[in-house]
Structure 1
Amino acid sequence: MTRRFPLLLVVLLVLAGCASHQQDEASPAKPDTEAVFPVTIGSVTIDSQPARIVSLSPSATETLFALGAGAQVVAVDSQSDYPPQAPHTALSALSPDPEAIAGYHPDLVVTSADTNGLSAALAKTGTKTLVMPDAKTLDDAYAEFLDLGRATGHQAEGESLARQTRSDIDQVIAATPKPARPLSFYWELDQTYYSVTSKTFLGQVLARFGLTNIADGTDPAANGGYPQLSAERILQSDPDVVFLADTKCCGQSAQTVAARPGWNTLTAVKEGHVFPLDDDLASRWSPRIVDLVRAISADVTDAGK
């Protein structure tokens, strides 16, 4: 995974499935017989089922393939690394080049933000742009599954995906043993101590496990809910659990955390409750959020013993 340095990662999170949910991604996408076009999503009207889609959002890319629309996707941005068969390119989502995108002759472009007037530029070539903004809640994520299903001619699949993802997450959380006492946690986005508050998408997911977030109490509006904590703040809070969402990008591990000055005194370090996570799962709101929830469940169960 390309390194997402602190502020870039915050931007991606603020702007910006489980395998059992996905249809056979190698199979050709079949139009949903219940789909009706034209469809209007927000301010965008899509006249007919798109045959050539460019995705400039890793979350959208994963969702499109989970819906069975993978055969319609002709190009994805440089950060869209899942599923493996997605048509990976050097297209940038942060600095999109309308000319480079138009070179793939898309009839629909899906992106997380209308950066630098992208939609207006593409409109000149007759291409529709569907902006799927960052999901602030799980319900927002489910709604995006529905919208992408409607936009691509897979309405029934979108409804099924949203329903199944919601059910799977609810079941995992309900089955997670509750710790004997409330556990506090520190969620690390990178080694400069950017974290998440409970006002964020990830923070709300974590709150469902009954955990106490040491990043709360800071200004929730700071960096959109992604504050930069200090080492002193973390050490004073002495979290029971540390979640590392910077393992692939930054090589962080329980060992590197324990080697930080003073961090060997943390309860999480002493009790072996520093848990590495998959950076990509922890930074996207695709159907694979179920995989992240399962990983957190296993870690909470371990820490609660």
Structure 2
Amino acid sequence: MRPVRALGASLVIGVMALASACGGSGDSGKDKGKTSGAGPVVVQAANGSVTIPATPQHIVSLSPTHTETLFAIGAGKQVTAVDDMSNYPADAPRSKLSGFKPNAEAIIATKPDLVVLSDDMDGIVDALAKVKIPVLLEPAATKLDQVYDEIQDLGKATGHTAEATKLTEQMRTGIQQTVASASKATSGHKLSYYHELDNQLHTVTSKTFIGQVYGLFGLENIADTADKASGGYPQLSQEYLLRRDPNMIFLADTKCCGQSAVSVGKRPGWSDLTAVKKQNTVALDDDIASRWGPRLPEFVKSIAAAVQKASAAK
């Protein structure tokens, strides 16, 4: 869901949600939960009712977000291959498989008993269905409840329903507490922001998942009035951005494009921006800011800290 940089499994760059105090630590393969139930189970996914004959032991994940979730709910030992973009946790069995240019033959060669993905690229869902491989299509979330629903789907599919429920409860609670705490400190302050996807000034609007996350804090997105036909991901002109002068700048291009508060301050005209002058430029982890899985609460915490700081200096 992200039109500029492949953000995990869509480009929404993320699209936003929450995951901090719960998924961030993910068991990294040291699963404590047990795979309950021998199956079959039926999961309602974006590609319809999917029947999984037995608890899968050879899972292939073609989505960085879902890879994180599988490990966070204790299904890491059941994952035998993940796509080339799945870089967390570090010990996930990364391969040359691609979620953006999926190769049915290469996937089938891994002999999976379940394939999880977020995009049906090049008809991969039908291709795998023809050879009777169960496939769960769980697309990039467009709202927070969808995040939790997808985690529950993966829990049910892998025999880790209890762990999935615990994770979603932790995420909900963590996010609610973070937002509530920040709201007390920022009451009465109306702050604007700019979320940068790349150094070509591509950004997100309030209608995206990521924008909704910022919306939890009552922030004003300067890109909203610039979104004519880009579906929530406009490219701003430098003139427009300088004119709107946001109170805060969030950089979700620190890894992909090497951006930082220092580099932003050196851009022509940017040293006069309120966010730059008051040191309210926030460097985010590109991956955390673009994935809608268990580390979303960390993204929420980053926003909360920035909002509190900006409010105190306003």
Which residue of the partner structure matches residue 158 of structure 1?
Answer: 164
2:270 maps to which of 263, 267, 270: 263
Residues 22 and 170, structure 2, Cα contact 8 Å, conserved in 1: no
Q: Structure 1 residues 224, 35: closer, same or farther in 2, change over 3 A?
A: farther
CA positional deviation for 1:218: 3.2
Q: Structure 1 residues 258, 24: closer, same or farther in 2, change over 3 A?
A: closer
Kindly report the root-mean-square deviation, in angstroms, between the aligned alpha carbons of the 2 structures. Answer: 2.2
1:147 maps to which of 150, 153, 161: 153
Residues 13 and 289, structure 2, Cα contact 8 Å, conserved in 1: no
Q: How many Å separate the matches in 2 of 1:11 and 1:152?
A: 20
Which residue of the partner structure matches residue 187 of structure 1?
Answer: 195
Q: How many Å separate the matches in 1 of 2:158 and 2:213?
A: 28
CA positional deviation for 1:130: 0.8
Matched, 1:40 2:43: yes
2:218 maps to which of 192, 206, 210: 210
Which residue of the partner structure matches residue 288 of structure 2?
Answer: 281
Higher relative contact order (CA 8 A, sep 6+): 2
Bigger shift: residues 24-33 or 182-191: 24-33
**CA displacement 1:202-229 (0-9 Å, x = unmatched):** 1011011111110112347x33311111
TM-score, normalised to structure 1, is 0.92
The percent identity for this pair of structures is: 50
2:93 maps to which of 80, 87, 90: 87
Unaligned runs of 5+ in 2: none
Q: How many Å separate the matches in 1 of 2:95 and 2:121?
A: 19
Q: How many Å separate the matches in 2 of 1:181 and 1:19?
A: 27
Give the aligned residue type for 2:292: W
Residues 38 and 54, structure 2, Cα contact 8 Å, conserved in 1: no
Q: How many Å separate the matches in 2 of 1:10 and 1:75?
A: 16
CA positional deviation for 1:103: 1.6
Matched, 1:51 2:43: no
Q: How many residues align?
A: 301
Residues 138 and 150, structure 2, Cα contact 8 Å, conserved in 1: yes
TM-score, normalised to structure 2, is 0.90
CA positional deviation for 1:179: 5.3
Q: How many Å separate the matches in 2 of 1:185 and 1:59?
A: 25
Q: How many Å separate the matches in 1 of 2:3 and 2:13?
A: 15
Residues 205 and 233, structure 2, Cα contact 8 Å, conserved in 1: yes
CA positional deviation for 1:243: 0.5
Unaligned runs of 5+ in 1: none
Which residue of the partner structure matches residue 115 of structure 1?
Answer: 121
Matched, 1:199 2:207: yes
Q: Structure 1 residues 11, 265: closer, same or farther in 2, change over 3 A?
A: farther
CA positional deviation for 1:26: 3.8
Residues 14 and 224, structure 1, Cα contact 8 Å, conserved in 2: no
